[in-house]
Structure 1
């Protein structure tokens, strides 16, 4: 088997639920709790940023107050891009729940993909709720609609470290 063929074979089977079901065990429920944790973290960050915008608004004689219109969205996008698209490939809520995100072939997501992932999540939940959540019931990797579109998968972190440490 050539190196290219071996590389393509490992990419195709990076996260196979039939070969490694422990990578996906409990992901759906822990993902919901991670979302709630992230919601609290984003609210706290937005509150802190709101104080800074208030000070900026005073110094700019009211012009800085216009930032309040985009503050929650900007804080959430920056949070997701920097955490989910960062080296740990997980938000703080996902880390607390022992989850991480990977691309379908095993690579970590990058900040732009993480931000697009969040935007697609918000749009899909806004327009398709609760149908977007039903997709995970029929997906072998417990992926949501925006995961399928972007080619991402959420897995258990501990099992992934064990899985990737196995000799080939």
Structure 2
């Protein structure tokens, strides 16, 4: 008797969740609060170059007696490209964390433990902005109703934000090691 995979002609392995908050609570301790602070840091990092571009376009508009103000129509495209590049290279980089996330010792992983990659990072950021825009920022309250603290866009694409290994490592006891006098 053939098993189910042979009948449909597709072989696949369903991977279990790598991160369990019941067995590893240190991975999830304080993540939602630090995630908010990391977002604010990243927002500032994203905004600074865009403000400089805006000021440059404004100066060009003044110098060209108003003709350069048409460059402002490029700002939405520049913003999207810059945000995709920032999230893709940082969140999709070797540390699987944006600069703000690195500052606060958190990282993003797939639900089965793999590090993030460029396309996943860009889709993750895009889904975040899309869900918070369409469903109001109240959708961010989803993290308080699941044990892993995942947001809607995390659930949709199969990611989880955890403490990095240095932060999640259990603290060592203070004092002499047992058995050493």
Equivalent of 1:137, from 135, 144, 147? 144
Secondary structure of 2:150's aligned partner: coil
Distance 1:73 1:106 in 2: 28
Residue number in structure 2 paired with 1:119: 126
- Offset at 1:69? 3.4
Distance 1:160 1:49 in 2: 37
Mind listing any 5+ residue stretches in structure 2 that lack a counterpart? 1-12, 171-181
Bigger radius of gyration among the two: 2
Q: CA RMSD in A?
A: 2.8
TM-score of the superposition, structure 2-length normalised?
A: 0.73
Distance 1:56 1:107 in 2: 46
Distance 1:87 1:54 in 2: 37
Residue number in structure 2 paired with 1:4: none
Alignment of 1:16-165 (within 5 A): 16-50=20-54, 65=71, 66-159=73-166, 162=169
TM-score of the superposition, structure 1-length normalised?
A: 0.78
Segments of 4+ moved more than 6 angstroms: 51-58
- Structure 2 CA distance for partners of 1:49 and 1:89, relative to 1, 3 Å: farther
Is the CA contact (8 Å cut-off) linking 1:132 and 1:145 kept in structure 2? yes
